[in-house]
Amino acid sequence: MGCDMWTRALDGLLTHLFKQGHLSVTYPDGVTRHYGEQGDGIAVTLHDPTLPRRIVLSPDMAAGEGYMDGTLTIAGDDLYGFLSLAITNIAAQGQPWFRRPMETLRWLKRRLDQFNPAARSRANVAHHYDLSGALYDLFLDADRQYSCAYFARPDMTLEEAQAAKKAHIAAKLLIRPGMRVLDIGCGWGGMGLTLARDFGAQVTGVTLSQEQHAVANQRAQQAGLADKVRFHLMDYRDVKGQFDRIVSVGMFEHVGVPHYDAYFATVQRLLAPDGIALIHTIGRAGPPGATSPWITKYIFPGGYCPAMSEAVAAVERHGLVTTDVEVWRLHYAETLRHWRDRFEANLDKVRTLYDERFCRMWRYYLIASELTFRLNNQVVFQFQLTPKQDAVPLTRDYLYSNRANGLRHAAE
């Protein structure tokens, strides 16, 4: 009786959601039901009798776990097609009435999920960034840029687009030789090394990842830049001193809404009176929301991609002027496409590092992320901030001048 109730509830949910395209679902009892338009589509089989209940209660979590565990299978293993169909329809239809209380609960719980004091931040970072470095070598560019690339031309390679991203950010920072630069969330050191090598900056990088910290300092030694770049295993809130420039790429997503004021208060405290900060973060084009519970559990615990209104409201409270906001739309979708292609081409090598469940989890993460950027209004924000209103030129011409273009072409 209970199982039948959840099957009926899932049938109602899928009937509500799937209006475009065609989805067929074979339930654990062997019955196949069809949703959406007539014609060819995506065929899914549910092998676990608990899946109807779990999908109704938390579709993101249950679908992701079902795919990871092999209890939800897709004809031809067409995960890209299945998630494209699902994301398109969910974005168009919204949640049915009986799921709205659960979505409200998820919203109310988000501040708890994103409560990231220093100790919890370290654990969250270790969960993702202290995985084997060999894994990241299999799908990232040689510089290990694990953030959105900038496809200034559609035919760029991943390496060219990542170099163009760094050059674009450097142009916004107006770097000059000898400037003191703080890199918050420095990753494996690529941005800091570029600013030191190509622009003569004195760079301090901070990360909470032991793996990234070790690799970044090793790279600085190997490049002969140890006198210009130092990377520290440190929480950004503990940094002391003053910097001419602050750059943070792909780190703000890990801060959490309860800590936005602390983050921007720290940026304001560390930035020189005429300094410039460039904050590059994934964001949402719509209003504030909540992170997918599957992403929170398996990929980025404590993570959240902000609405612009949430980030800018915190900036306004801390004596910083927003001098430029740039929105990158499909650049991250293209970046993720490159990562996915490389990951799938190297699946056999990934299997030597991790088990099959991990491979399926990581594939689900890369594909779901790409399609969220393509189909559900996820974007990248670049916020240029300064305490002094005239610290940057009054027009954007400087970004596209011969000098800026020359830097970009040199990087390519």
Check which CATH number belongs to the domain holding 341 and give it: 3.40.50.150
Does residue 384 sit in the same domain as residue 261? Answer: yes
Q: Is the same domain home to 231 and 346?
A: yes
- Closest by alpha carbon to 55, among 97, 111, 107, 8? 8
Instruction: Residue 239: give the domain boundaries.
Output: 118-411
For residues 284, 288, 292, 296, the Cα torsion angle rounded to the nearest 10 degrees is 100
Considering the entire predicted model, what is its pTM?
0.91
> What percent of the chain has a predicted confidence (pLDDT) above 70?
88
Q: Confirm whether 174 is domain-assigned.
A: yes
- The answer to whether residue 74 sits within a structural domain is yes
CB atoms within 10 A of CB 330: 14
201-239 per-position pLDDT tens digit: 999 999 999 999 999 999 999 999 999 999 999 999 999
Residue 315 CA to residue 309 CA, distance in Å, equals 10
- In a shared domain, residues 59 and 166: no
Q: Within this chain, do residues 33 and 157 fall inside the same structural domain, yes or no?
A: no
Residue stretches of the chain with pLDDT short of 50 = 1, 403-412
Domain boundary among 60, 94, 128: 94
> Same structural domain for residues 217 and 304?
yes
pLDDT at site 60: 93
Query: How far is residue 310's CA from residue 285's CA, in Å, rounded to a whole number?
Result: 11
**Domain check: are 314 and 353 in the same one?**
yes
Q: Considering its fold, how many domains does the chain have in total?
A: 2
Q: What is the pLDDT of residue 93?
A: 77
Question: Tens digit of pLDDT for each residue in 274-288?
Answer: 999 999 999 999 999
* pLDDT reported for residue 98: 60
**Which residues does residue 23 pair with via DSSP β-bridges, in sequence order?**
35, 42
| Residue 47 belongs to domain with CATH number | 3.30.1050
The string of pLDDT tens digits covering residues 298-342 is 998 888 999 999 999 999 999 899 999 999 999 999 999 999 999
- Residue 138 — left, alpha, or beta (φ > 0 → left; ψ -120 to 50 → alpha)? alpha
Query: What CA–CA distance (Å, rounded) separates 281 from 195?
Result: 19
CB 231 within 8 A of CB 262: no
- Is residue 100 in a domain? no
Same domain, 137 and 241: yes
Q: How much is the pLDDT for 194?
A: 97
